[in-house]
Amino acid sequence: MTWQAWVTLATVAGMLFVMVRNLAGPDVTLLGGVVLLLSMGILTSKEAFAGFANEGMLTVGVLFVVAAAMRETGALDFFVRRILGRPRSVIGAQLRLMVPAAGISAFINNTPLVAAMVPIVSDWSKRIGVSASRLMMPLSWATILGGTCSLIGTSTNLVVVGLVQKKDPSIHIPLFEIAWVGIPVAIVGIAYTVLLSKRLLPDRTGSLEALRDPREYTVAMRVEAGSPVVGMTIEEAGLRHLPGLFLVDVERDGDLLPAVGPEVRLKADDQLTFAGVVESVVDLRKIRGLVPATEQVAKLTDPRPERRLVEAVVASQSPLVGKTPKEIEFRTVYNAAIIAVHRRGERVRGKIGTIELKAGDTLLLDTHPNFLRTRRNDAAFALVAAVEGSAAPRHERAWLAGGVVLAMIVANAAGWISLLLAGLLAAGALLLTRCLTADEAREAVDLRVLVAIAASFGVGAAIEQSGLAKVLGAEIVRLAEPLGTVGILAAVYLATTVLTELVTNNSAAALMFPIAMATAEAAHAPSLKPFYYVVMMAASASFSTPIGYATNLMVLSPGGYRFGDFLRFGVPLQLLLAGVTVVVVYLRWM
């Protein structure tokens, strides 16, 4: 190997060490590696930073905005409630998530699917009390597995098809022929995930984190007339098992119904009293058909979607001390409605307007975001802080957001425009129609993911340009030649999957294709089909690291994963699927 290849190999090994030991995030590590390779002269500036102008990376960024609009309008409530539902176990939740995700991914690209699903799964995990770390990796893997079941499921398959037809234009590959191997692989992959995740996946993040917050409130919500939850039982409406929150009682027509059972059906104007932590109050606020029961909230002039929840601590010398909100006309003076009060580790019950405020009370306010700026230095409050993610969904625009996203998918699937252009047009339309604001769009973009994806292209370019990729691929295949046809197929698979963990999946397919074809010809194989199908499957089989596939990077932070989590859970799956792929391909096409 050249000195450039040795330096690149050492750099990649160093980055892997840093990420496995969790010494730095993938974005910082990958970008640092690119800068080192650039300073050594192995990469040019254009090669090092080409990923920041890459269409795939930009597409992911745009899709973050599109997914945010779906979340902010509540357009995906139907999917969450009807398809994902309320499973009773972690295995049930993973099956409900992975099976439809894999099926959809066979027909649309998995990157936009994961971008749209991450916020949905994050909210869903809170509602059902399952750690997000038990669901995010299965989501990514389901889309990868489903994408291998058709030629259009992932761009990697289309890259290989293009290379095959360039080699021999007479070859025609049917759209679903790869499903002969893709479906068995998907079934085995899903089965492995749901059966072994309890032992190998960490229970690190999720809805239970909310319980660590000692601030608990008592909040009253009213069922709006004509809302979707009218006629539903407590269980069907998703109000029975909210994490960190429990239903205390229901007031109906002046009568109190304590110890409400899950079978009780909701009626219009029912008043539901909940007790729990502030993060769970935020989730409650996003359920369509429930509005705060406090009369003062209805008198606020700002539209509900523009308001946020704010926590304000009453100062020791505050003019509010010893007075009730009604006496000081709190809503009129501060343009904010108190919806709950927390006092010295206890939640305060009773009618908000009659509670005598004390120093140190934490007030949960429904107000305009300007409250933070205008009241931050107000002597009445010792501390003022916004509650993250507390905007109420714009339910009235849900149909509009859903229509725009459906148009984006159809336009791209029909081949009329690229996914990037479709996403840009969709994001523009969603902003113009006020399905989300510009600030929400900016906050939706996860720069850590985009930097990691962009920098991974630079690392991949170094591995390719230095000759390291070709050396590794050829050496692995050479060692397997004495093992016969099955051994060669296995070696092609393993070499390709090693490359796909180091470079992009499309680059791994492009690099391994000529090596695989040359190996097939040298072995006098009767058909090239088994070899290019093995390359297709292996190039998409990125389960061992978060950097080998964009969808893995996209779930890394929401799932609270570390680099080693992918190694521990992904390497056995990688080897298992290698065996399934080689056996099925050999039996079907050799």
Which residue has better confidence, 414 or 417? 417
- Does residue 29 contact residue 19 with C-beta atoms inside 8 Å? yes
- Does residue 315 contact residue 342 with C-beta atoms inside 8 Å? no
Runs of H (alpha helix) within 168-316: 179-200, 278-285, 295-298
- Does residue 204 contact residue 131 with C-beta atoms inside 8 Å? yes
CA distance 164 to 166: 5
The pLDDT value recorded for residue 207 is: 35
- pLDDT tens by residue, 78-137: 566 667 877 878 999 999 999 988 988 887 767 767 877 887 788 788 777 788 889 999
Taking phi first (over 0 means left), then psi (-120 to 50 degrees means alpha), and beta for anything else, what does residue 288 get?
Answer: beta
- pLDDT tens by residue, 253-278: 877 776 677 788 888 888 888 877 77
The pLDDT value recorded for residue 120 is: 79
Contacts of 351 (CB under 8 A, 6+ apart): none
The pLDDT value recorded for residue 243 is: 66
pLDDT band at 563 (very low <50, low <70, confident <90, very high): confident
Instruction: State mean pLDDT over 395-407.
Output: 81
CA angle 75, 78, 81 (to 5 degrees): 130
Q: What is the gyration radius of the CA atoms in the chain, in angstroms?
A: 27
Domain boundaries of the chain, sorted by first residue: 3-204+449-589, 211-386
pLDDT band at 20 (very low <50, low <70, confident <90, very high): low
Element (H, E) at 494: helix 484-502
The pLDDT value recorded for residue 579 is: 93
Instruction: State mean pLDDT over 294-309.
Output: 71
To the nearest 10°, report the CA torsion of 430, 433, 436, 438.
Answer: 90
Joined tokens for residue 319: 């003019």
DSSP state letter for 392: P
Where b means 16+ CB within 10 Å and e means fewer, 386-396 reads ebebbbbbbbe
Fold of the 211-386 domain: Alpha-Beta Plaits (3.30.70)
Residue 304 in this model has a pLDDT that exceeds 80: no
Instruction: State mean pLDDT over 347-369.
Output: 82
Residue 523 in this model has a pLDDT that exceeds 70: no
To the nearest 10°, report the CA torsion of 24, 28, 32, 38.
Answer: 160
pLDDT band at 210 (very low <50, low <70, confident <90, very high): very low
Which residue has better confidence, 431 or 285? 431
Neighbours of 215 (CB within 10 A): 16
The pLDDT value recorded for residue 569 is: 92
Q: Which DSSP string corresponds to 84-144?
A: I---SSHHHHHHHHHHHHHHHHTTS-HHHHHHHHHHHHHHHHHHHT--GGGTHHHHHHHHH
- pLDDT tens by residue, 133-169: 899 999 999 999 998 888 767 777 877 777 777 677 7
CA distance 496 to 537: 9
Coil, helix or strand at residue 220: strand
CA distance 476 to 487: 11
The pLDDT value recorded for residue 576 is: 94
- pLDDT tens by residue, 360-385: 888 888 888 788 888 888 888 888 88
Neighbours of 35 (CB within 10 A): 15
The pLDDT value recorded for residue 81 is: 63
The pLDDT value recorded for residue 392 is: 66
The amino acid at residue 29 is T
The pLDDT value recorded for residue 472 is: 66
Contacts of 122 (CB under 8 A, 6+ apart): 132, 558
CA distance 11 to 460: 12
Long-range contacts: 168-176, Cβ < 8 Å, 24+? 175/150, 175/151, 176/149, 176/150, 176/151
Query: In Å, what is the CA distance from 438 to each residue of 68, 445, 450?
Result: 11, 11, 19
Joined tokens for residue 322: 């010893």
Instruction: State mean pLDDT over 196-217.
Output: 65
Neighbours of 330 (CB within 10 A): 22
CA distance 140 to 136: 6
- pLDDT tens by residue, 432-469: 988 888 887 887 787 877 787 778 778 777 877 787 76
CA distance 324 to 315: 15
Which residue has better confidence, 188 or 417? 188
Mean pLDDT of the chain: 80
Query: In Å, what is the CA distance from 81 to each residue of 96, 121, 123?
Result: 11, 12, 11
Record the pTM: 0.63
The pLDDT value recorded for residue 212 is: 46
The residues with which 217 forms a beta bridge, in sequence order, are 276
Query: In Å, what is the CA distance from 564 to each residue of 140, 545, 569?
Result: 16, 8, 9
Element (H, E) at 432: helix 419-432
Joined tokens for residue 473: 């691929």
Where b means 16+ CB within 10 Å and e means fewer, 192-211 reads bbbeebeebbbeebbbebbe
Residue 184 in this model has a pLDDT that exceeds 60: yes
DSSP state letter for 447: H
The pLDDT value recorded for residue 95 is: 93
Residue 411 in this model has a pLDDT that exceeds 70: yes
Compute CA 557 distance to the chain's CA centroid, rounded to the nearest angstrom: 8
